[in-house]
């Protein structure tokens, strides 16, 4: 469910984007790009698959000259790890591991020397809250097929606000 929720959130933001596919033997790379806010924001979503099974997804968002990157790793179509460069410095500051088939996850922060430490419980709980918010939105979108564009827009805005609130909880802990 986590993979679907993350994918849906980004697919909604990439609607109408340019897409290209690169195929090398059984490894396929599909890239989707989109400009938003009059070119102020650039989104790039790459999915690498082995055969038809996604194994790596890379999301890059550039805004105000800062490019944030998130890489999601999958095994047998199930999300197992995400690492994120949250400030655009090219270093992946956080690593999140998932236990497929459960809601179990663990999160680590990467130190400047490359070592990792467990994230605080506060950051872990805020991250879980963000993922649950996206899962809830995905569930709502799947269950209520008769939502108007306005209702979908409101749902996305409400979800975005909850995610930002949880992000502030994480930031207040640093």
**11-15, 40-44, 52-56, 79-83, range with the lowest pLDDT:** 11-15
- Structural domain total, the chain: 2
pLDDT digits (tens, 9 = 90+) for 5-17: 444 444 444 444 4
Tokens of 26: 């059984």
Mean pLDDT of 45-59: 93
The Cα 174–Cα 68 span in angstroms is 19
Check whether residue 115 and residue 137 sit in a common domain: no
Confidence of residue 72 (pLDDT cuts 50, 70, 90): very high
Residues 119 and 111: beta-carbon distance below 8 Å: no
Residue numbers of the domain that contains 149: 122-174
Out of 76, 100, 119, pick the residue that ends a domain: 119
Mean pLDDT of 33-56: 85
Rounded to a whole number of angstroms, the CA Rg of the chain reads 17
Confidence of residue 121 (pLDDT cuts 50, 70, 90): very high
Check whether residue 82 and residue 127 sit in a common domain: no
Check whether residue 115 and residue 128 sit in a common domain: no
The Cα 49–Cα 35 span in angstroms is 24
The Cα 46–Cα 120 span in angstroms is 30
Look at 147 and 22; give whichever has higher pLDDT.
147
Report the chain's mean pLDDT, rounded to a whole number: 82
Look at 16 and 97; give whichever has higher pLDDT.
97
Is pLDDT above 90 for 105? yes
The Cα 155–Cα 148 span in angstroms is 11
């Amino acid at each position: 469910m986590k993979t679907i929720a993350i994918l849906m959130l980004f697919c909604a933001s990439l609607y109408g984007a340019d897409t290209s596919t690169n195929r090398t033997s059984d490894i396929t790379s599909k890239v989707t790009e989109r400009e938003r806010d009059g070119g102020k924001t650039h989104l790039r979503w790459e999915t690498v698959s082995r055969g038809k099974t996604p194994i790596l997804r890379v999301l890059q968002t550039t805004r105000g000259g800062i490019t944030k990157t998130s890489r999601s790793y999958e095994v047998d179509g199930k999300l197992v790890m995400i690492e994120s460069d949250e400030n655009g410095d090219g270093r992946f500051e956080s690593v999140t591991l998932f236990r497929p088939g459960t809601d179990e996850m663990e999160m680590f922060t990467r130190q400047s020397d490359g070592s990792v430490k467990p994230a605080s419980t506060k950051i872990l709980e805020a991250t879980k809250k963000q993922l649950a918010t996206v899962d809830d939105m995905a569930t709502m979108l799947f269950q209520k097929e008769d939502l108007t564009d306005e209702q979908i827009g409101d749902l996305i805005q409400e979800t975005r606000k909850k995610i930002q609130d949880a992000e502030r909880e994480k930031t207040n802990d640093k």
